Structure 1
Amino acid sequence: MSEVLPGDRRVSGPRLIALVGPFQSGKTSLLESLLTRGGALARQGSVRDGSSVGDSSPEARAHAASVEANIASVDYLGDRFTFVDLPGSLEFAHEARNVLPLCDAAVVVCEADERKTPALRVILRELEDLALPRVLFVNKIDAATLRIRDALGVLQPASRTPLLLRQIPIWQNGIVTGFIDLALERAFVYREHAPSVVVDVPAGELPSEKEARYTMLEKLADYDDALMEELLSDIEPPRDQIFDGLTRDLRQGKVAPVLIGSAAEGHGVTRLLKALRHEAPCVAETRARLGVSDTGAPLAHALKTIHTAHGGKLTFARVLRGAFADGAAVKSASGEDRVSGLSRLIGLAGAKQPKVEEGDCVAFGRLDHIATGDSFGDAKGGVPAPVVPAVAQPQPAYALAVTVKERKDEARLATAIAKLSEEDPSLVFVHDQEAGEMRLNGQGEMHVRVALERLAARFGVVVETQRPAVGYKETIRQTANVRGRHKKQSGGHGQFGDVVLDVAPLPRGAGFVFKETVHGGAVPRNYFSAIEEGCRDALEHGPLGFPVVDVAVTLTDGSYHTVDSSDMAFRTAARLGVAEALGKAAPVLLEPVLAVEITAPSECLSKITAIVSARRGQILGYDARPDWEGWDVLNALIPGADMEGFIVELRSATAGVGSFTQKFDHWAEMIGKSADAIVAHRAAARAPAH
């Protein structure tokens, strides 16, 4: 039986609503329109001319795209809404992973465009997995070319949840001039940057309205036995019953309502706000979804961290339970802090608050011990358990080697990178000792480029970039027997070490093995460890200029001096001997080969196989992606040297939704002109400057 609900389902209290959608679907324009319609802005700005509240950072302005979460609050008819505008590009998807679980609902901004359906599916899949209630806002309806039923046919394959059409457009001379709300049975005529005017449903639209309304009621009746009986009996259901059903089914994730409008023109925005006001859940239901108790000490969860030039560290957090006051002591698993300022933001402008209540999402000042993803509470209580599991950061997909122009900037670079990584944990900065370079790793070319722009603009650290070094190695293909001898006399005690070594290749992946077969005490046992260290020293750079792997060295004979022999002498002798042997044992270059798993829509498979083949890749096979109809997983082996820029080409071929993971698989011998060029380049790089 269906659930029986009271008449008015509207809840009160602050709500946190995510704005999500494919790249360039109009999310930031919708945020601007929502803030204007709610009275938070006197005039609606424009993304195109750079006057919007969202995308206000220099990097977002420069690239005309969202590159971080934008947070803004507005009071509408007595209810407070905080909207989080999240980037649509997969490269910045990490911005959503910490935010979405704490939201009460999401508005999915989309277009009836088959080219963007794969990206829409990725977004909807994440919302479905989180059980987050969602409303679709079909944007740019004023430029629509598809009839609404055809548009719904384009969008439905992206959603596992049934889409429920709530509004239909009114067409006049091929132009959408307004819409009909199927639940209210009212028509609305658009006015530019103003609320729509309510009019009677045009006579010519009545047949379409009746048909679309009945379809909506039929879908609601799938989850409401009483409504089903009324429809079968041709009884017109009361309006309150319809809205109860819409509210219940939205919150339970049984349907995803579809509204229409134009964010840039402000069309359909008032109805969207009213739908959220009456039907979106609040923090109490979000607590229940997250398994958080309604009772207990004040509790908040950190959604995002930023470092400002003048205000220091700001932590955006959702208050899930209780209240927090400015100056209050708070505690997390990482330590204890005191709140230094509470601000409700609209873009970069903040309104100071003496206290924040349950459900609010505000910026907490100077919580130095609290990181993005941490839960924190009143310091008088215990350390709160995490509200949501720690977010696993995605594997880096793009990297650049970075060097500071001046050595004195190295310390500043480390400090700046630490702050950027705190803001964005998906940025990974590593110091590769073997290659002797520092690398900045991210989710794509744009992601890394934006990080470098922030380094320069916010921290004054300008770096030079280059392609990361490939981790080539070398090995040998033959056996060599050598004598390594180190003898030096310079007054007083001299230096003497003498070893006879067999150097042989090992199977790939065996590493380094040291053995000794010395008889008769030709080399005293106490020097064996020094000889092994000398062998390892020689393997750091082979005759081709790269680390040597898969080699066995056997100490077979040698001699010593009772006075002049020492650990250092034998270590030097072993190093000289192995270095000589490697040059005689047919050294060969080894390149790393990676096992790459690529995930993408099935229709992109032919493009992907061509990309892999062009990069000397070997395709191992492909299979359907589990529980993702119309998507495939392709496995391939690709040389590490050919992975540069792979993510850029993959995203281009898959409308921005392709992704991959990689791991080392094996070393492969590399010969010919390519190998010669690599060795020559290495030799030139190691040559002393004149």
Structure 2
Amino acid sequence: MAITSNGKGTSAGGTPRCIALVGPFGSGKTSLLEALLARTDKVARQGTVADGNTVGDGSSEARAHGMSVELNIADAEYLGDRFVFVDCPGSVEFLSEMDGALSGADLAVVVAEDDERKVPALQLILKALEARAIPRVLFLNKIDKSTRRVRDVLGLLQPASAVPLVLRQIPIWEDGHATGFIDLALERAHVYHEKEPSTQIDMSDEDRTREHEARFSMLELLADHDDDLMEALLEDIAPDRDKVFADLVNEMRDGLICPVFFGSAEHGNGVSRLLKALRHEVPDVDLLSRRVLDKQNRAVLQVIKTLHTQHGGKMSIARILDGVVSDGDSLFLKGEEEIKVSGLFSIFGQQTTKIATAGKGDLVALGRLDNVQTGDLLSFEAGKITRVEEPEPRSPVLATAIAASQRKDEVRLSTALAKLVEEDRSLTVSQNQTTAETLLAGQGEMHLRVAQERLAGKYGLDITAHTPHVPYAETIRTGTRVRGRHKKQSGGHGQFGDAVLEIKPLPRGEGVQFTDTITGGVVPKQYIPSVRDGVLDALGQGPLGFPVVDIAVCLTDGSYHSVDSSDQAFKMAGILAIREGLPECKPVLLEPIHKVVVACPSDATARVNAIVSARRGQLLGFDGRPDWPGWDEVQALMPEAEIGDLIIELRSATAGVASYTSEFDHMAELSGKAADQALQRSGKQAA
């Protein structure tokens, strides 16, 4: 994000445009960023992911795993125009990073490849863009490794897009390899050079025939939204080249088409043509402002990412939609709370550079804005800001129980977790009161692994993590009547409390009820709450070792001593009565059951059904996923014990793209071998 050239946030290129590089995992986004930076002379030599010397993926976690796990930001200038490129992770586990970047993007370059296994993942990306009306072009990468005709590849990818994929180029083939391309808008042929700009060549007769056919197909797709162009085609009139370009630009910006370019990021092929298209066709930041804000709002900053650095503290990465911001300026959070900028920085990969000012279109880091969160809008003037509603953060699908290895680090862990969640909204931290565990939940195994690595590497914490315990409960099948008597003499005043309890089961979901039918003062009124407290304490752990629920306890009788009775004595009487009475009531284990909705490609629905059934799930049915052609939603009731690592198996069966939502539905009895196994896993003894 180093978008400055003179230390003041401005350069000869005018207002910079922000390009998000998105696409499935492994499609070559980081390589494309490196090729773009090399072609614009921003870096002296194009690095490679394999060598670990790229501008992107510079964090220790990214280097260790050989994959993008966070946004990578870099600027470039091409033929006088300024760009900010934001390389987004492609793994489904880190797509929340993309969500933030799209809030500040003028256009997205969708990087894809000739791989049918990645089509569902491509659809995830395109759906996010479509939902937010982000203009987009597709860069078909690794053309040097493709074994199919480009039109066949487009036919493979088209189901992932809600709008037509429109070829802007066709390849020039030589011995089965793409050696260049023909631009269908300019009607010019170019030959590739290794990591160098292509050069124009004359077209062969065969290539010219192919070009005419492909260009007509492109024009037909454009004519679907332009009656004048359709009329020209019907009358066999060659359209004006400027008219063709205008249609390509306008229909792309309106989200009616997705133009397709191709090349090889690794070899630097197709990069110059992509840059030229971006130069002429990317909308300026005003279009983004209209997407994000109400018509009445102007002069704001859109926060797309929050970072906590080891030496610089908190940084809020923001796109300036209008105006100029300087170090020390006052801004207004949500139009009301005044905050002061404490440091203004440009970012290039892992490097930050302090700058004095930044202007419209710039993407900068603002220092130490304590109350500012990702997604917030900052304004230059006090007053209400109205924004277009943003998508909700992605729901977590996998959790781990986490704790500091040493008690002295518990406060540090709590602080570090809060910072992780602030940086990544798809992470959540919660406390399970039943199991007394701190739960860190995220988007998958790798997501949680990276979070734990950051706790260790960035915050120096030694932590332990394990599979969360299931919050089992227990209840009773029959009732009983029991007396609890606490009597103790130890010199001076003794202790005496006597309580008779009637215990009965309640229908499922009724919780715990305590009542009394005391008459005649056999248990003085002031001691009845103490009996209740003792009952509730004892119900916290029943004979099976879990909280007791769906039970009614009634205090029916008892006795007291005018000198030795006390609140504590009657509390102990209530505890003793429950402990003695519950084993007689045929205790039974209860497990939490959740309503689960799995989203998956339709061709994997049968596999998903089998996975759910094998995990003791009760299938409720499935239907098409609304507005997602080729996807289904499977609904089921599943025990929480079977949901823990469900996402791992689901993604293995769906090319890594399945997701699910889960919410508690009810508690159900668990008996037999399954109950014995649950008790064994929890370290309890079977009744």
- Deviation at residue 680 of structure 1 after TM alignment: 4.8
Provide closer, same or farther for how the CA distance between residues 160 and 390 of structure 1 changes in structure 2, counting only shifts above 3 A: closer
Preserved CA contact (<8 Å) 1:332 1:383: no
Instruction: For 1:157-306, list aligned pairs within 5 A.
Output: 157-293=159-295, 296=298, 298-306=299-307
| Distance (Å, rounded) in 2 between the aligned partners of 1:295 and 1:387 | 8
With 161-170 and 665-674 compared, the bigger mean Cα shift is at 665-674
Q: Deviations over 1:626-659 (max 9, x none)?
A: 2222111111121111112111111111111111
Residue matched to 1:316 = 317
Residue matched to 2:636 = 636
Preserved CA contact (<8 Å) 2:544 2:684: no
Q: Which amino acid aligns with 1:301?
A: Q
Instruction: For 1:47-196, list aligned pairs within 5 A.
Output: 47-196=49-198
Name the SS of the counterpart of 2:465 in structure 1.
Answer: strand
Preserved CA contact (<8 Å) 1:101 1:132: no
Question: Gaps (5+ residues) in structure 2?
Answer: 1-12
Q: Which amino acid aligns with 1:69?
A: L
Residue matched to 2:36 = 34
Name the SS of the counterpart of 2:519 in structure 1.
Answer: coil
Name the SS of the counterpart of 2:225 in structure 1.
Answer: coil
Residue matched to 2:582 = 582
Instruction: For 1:198-597, list aligned pairs within 5 A.
Output: 198-293=200-295, 296=298, 298-333=299-334, 335-378=337-380, 381-385=381-385, 387-389=387-389, 391-597=391-597
With 315-324 and 638-647 compared, the bigger mean Cα shift is at 638-647
Preserved CA contact (<8 Å) 2:28 2:111: yes
Preserved CA contact (<8 Å) 2:32 2:266: yes
- Deviation at residue 623 of structure 1 after TM alignment: 1.1
Q: Which amino acid aligns with 2:137?
A: V
Q: Which amino acid aligns with 2:179?
A: T
Name the SS of the counterpart of 1:676 in structure 2.
Answer: helix
Question: Gaps (5+ residues) in structure 1?
Answer: 1-10
Identical counterparts, % of pairs: 54
With 428-437 and 612-621 compared, the bigger mean Cα shift is at 428-437
Name the SS of the counterpart of 2:103 in structure 1.
Answer: helix
Preserved CA contact (<8 Å) 1:302 1:316: yes
With 666-675 and 365-374 compared, the bigger mean Cα shift is at 666-675
| Distance (Å, rounded) in 2 between the aligned partners of 1:53 and 1:357 | 24
- Deviation at residue 422 of structure 1 after TM alignment: 1.1
- Deviation at residue 684 of structure 1 after TM alignment: 6.1
Q: Which amino acid aligns with 1:502?
A: E
Q: Deviations over 1:273-328 (max 9, x none)?
A: 110110110111211223444875x3101100111122222211000111101221
Residue matched to 1:601 = 601
Residue matched to 2:6 = none
- Deviation at residue 233 of structure 1 after TM alignment: 2.6
- Deviation at residue 507 of structure 1 after TM alignment: 0.9
Name the SS of the counterpart of 1:188 in structure 2.
Answer: strand
| Distance (Å, rounded) in 2 between the aligned partners of 1:263 and 1:612 | 41
Q: Deviations over 1:340-381 (max 9, x none)?
A: 332222201234322111111111222222111111122xx2
Preserved CA contact (<8 Å) 1:376 1:384: no
| Distance (Å, rounded) in 2 between the aligned partners of 1:487 and 1:190 | 95
Preserved CA contact (<8 Å) 2:294 2:388: no
TM-score by length of structure 1 reads 0.95
| Distance (Å, rounded) in 2 between the aligned partners of 1:338 and 1:162 | 46
Residue matched to 1:661 = 661
TM-score by length of structure 2 reads 0.95
Q: Deviations over 1:377-408 (max 9, x none)?
A: 22xx2155254435422222111112222111
Name the SS of the counterpart of 1:321 in structure 2.
Answer: coil
- Deviation at residue 110 of structure 1 after TM alignment: 0.5
Preserved CA contact (<8 Å) 2:545 2:684: no
Preserved CA contact (<8 Å) 1:376 1:383: no
| Distance (Å, rounded) in 2 between the aligned partners of 1:224 and 1:677 | 67
Preserved CA contact (<8 Å) 1:401 1:466: yes
Q: Which amino acid aligns with 1:300?
A: L
| Distance (Å, rounded) in 2 between the aligned partners of 1:356 and 1:522 | 80
Q: Which amino acid aligns with 2:121?
A: A
Q: Deviations over 1:521-541 (max 9, x none)?
A: 211222222211111111000
Preserved CA contact (<8 Å) 1:300 1:319: yes
- Deviation at residue 685 of structure 1 after TM alignment: 10
Preserved CA contact (<8 Å) 2:593 2:639: yes
Preserved CA contact (<8 Å) 1:171 1:177: yes
- Deviation at residue 520 of structure 1 after TM alignment: 2.3
- Deviation at residue 229 of structure 1 after TM alignment: 2.5
Preserved CA contact (<8 Å) 1:98 1:391: no
Name the SS of the counterpart of 1:359 in structure 2.
Answer: coil
Name the SS of the counterpart of 1:503 in structure 2.
Answer: strand
- Deviation at residue 148 of structure 1 after TM alignment: 1.2
- Deviation at residue 587 of structure 1 after TM alignment: 0.9
Preserved CA contact (<8 Å) 1:141 1:262: yes
- Deviation at residue 464 of structure 1 after TM alignment: 1.3
Provide closer, same or farther for how the CA distance between residues 17 and 384 of structure 1 changes in structure 2, counting only shifts above 3 A: farther
Provide closer, same or farther for how the CA distance between residues 658 and 295 of structure 1 changes in structure 2, counting only shifts above 3 A: closer
Name the SS of the counterpart of 2:458 in structure 1.
Answer: helix
| Distance (Å, rounded) in 1 between the aligned partners of 2:296 and 2:241 | 32
Name the SS of the counterpart of 1:675 in structure 2.
Answer: helix
| Distance (Å, rounded) in 2 between the aligned partners of 1:280 and 1:490 | 87
Q: Which amino acid aligns with 2:647?
A: I
Preserved CA contact (<8 Å) 2:439 2:468: yes
Preserved CA contact (<8 Å) 1:287 1:294: no
| Distance (Å, rounded) in 2 between the aligned partners of 1:30 and 1:408 | 46
Preserved CA contact (<8 Å) 2:612 2:619: yes
| Distance (Å, rounded) in 1 between the aligned partners of 2:294 and 2:579 | 64
- Deviation at residue 251 of structure 1 after TM alignment: 1.0
| Distance (Å, rounded) in 1 between the aligned partners of 2:440 and 2:342 | 32
Preserved CA contact (<8 Å) 1:375 1:384: no
With 92-101 and 149-158 compared, the bigger mean Cα shift is at 92-101
- The size of the alignment, in residue pairs, is 673
Preserved CA contact (<8 Å) 1:523 1:558: yes
Preserved CA contact (<8 Å) 2:291 2:388: no
Provide closer, same or farther for how the CA distance between residues 145 and 294 of structure 1 changes in structure 2, counting only shifts above 3 A: farther
Residue matched to 2:624 = 624
Provide closer, same or farther for how the CA distance between residues 12 and 221 of structure 1 changes in structure 2, counting only shifts above 3 A: farther
Name the SS of the counterpart of 2:26 in structure 1.
Answer: coil
